[in-house]
């Protein structure tokens, strides 16, 4: 399990780092996006939203590759991967890398379960007090 978690962490970190950096440095040619998906990406790009997401991808990728604060990196990258998955399924209408990234990040949550267990605890109380409704 230890090696599988390490490999998954490096793959996910590498993918997000490479594609995050590619947004700024343009070292990989990306195919054009058409239709509703193209309009969506165009709006994300023109608003500056995509730039912010790509910075988060780079930060999350570096965190996963470095192995320092990995649960923080997973927490940053999981919502991005879910959005990639939804983009592919709903706008492109075919599954792509989002399925793999979301699956690998879910696997990493299991691998770092001690860090995430309390997130799934419905009775967790805040520090120093009772639970606020």
Residue 130 lies in a domain: no
Residue 130: pLDDT band (50, 70, 90) is: low
Residue 127 lies in a domain: no
Residue 128 is predicted with a pLDDT of 77
Largest CA distance in the chain: 53
Residue 57 lies in a domain: yes
Residue 66: pLDDT band (50, 70, 90) is: very high
Number of domains in the chain: 1
Residue 47 lies in a domain: yes
Residue 109 lies in a domain: yes
Once rounded to an integer, what is the mean pLDDT over residues 42-65?
97
Residue 123 lies in a domain: no
Residue 69 is predicted with a pLDDT of 97
Provide the domain limits for residue 97.
2-25+34-113
Residue 118 lies in a domain: no
pLDDT at 127 over 90: no
Residue 2 is predicted with a pLDDT of 94
Once rounded to an integer, what is the mean pLDDT over residues 108-123?
93
Tens digit of each residue's pLDDT (9 = 90 or more) over 3-35: 999 999 999 999 999 999 999 999 999 888 889
One DSSP character per residue, the chain reads -HHHHHHHHHHHHHHHHHHHHHHHH--SPPPP--HHHHHHHHHHHHHTHHHHHHHHHHHHHHHHHHTSSHHHHHHHHHHHHHHHHHIIIIII-S--HHHHHHHHHHHHHHHTHHHHGGGG-TT---TTSPPP-
d(CA 60, CA 77): 6
Residue 81 lies in a domain: yes
Tens digit of each residue's pLDDT (9 = 90 or more) over 69-90: 999 999 999 999 999 999 999 9
- % pLDDT > 90, the chain: 82
Residue 33 is predicted with a pLDDT of 87
pLDDT at 125 over 90: no
């Amino acid at each position: 399990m230890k090696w599988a978690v390490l490999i998954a962490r490096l793959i996910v970190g590498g993918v997000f780092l490479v594609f995050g950096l590619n947004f700024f440095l343009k070292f990989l040619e990306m195919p054009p996006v058409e239709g509703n998906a193209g309009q969506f990406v165009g709006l994300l790009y023109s608003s500056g939203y995509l730039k912010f997401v790509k910075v988060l991808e780079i930060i999350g990728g570096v965190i996963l590759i470095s192995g320092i604060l990995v649960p923080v990196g997973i927490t940053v990258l999981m919502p991005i991967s879910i959005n990639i998955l939804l983009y592919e399924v709903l706008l492109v209408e075919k599954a792509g890398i989002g399925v793999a990234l979301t699956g690998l990040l879910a696997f990493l949550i299991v691998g770092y379960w001690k860090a995430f267990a309390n997130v799934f605890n419905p009775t967790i109380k805040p520090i120093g007090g009772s639970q606020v409704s």
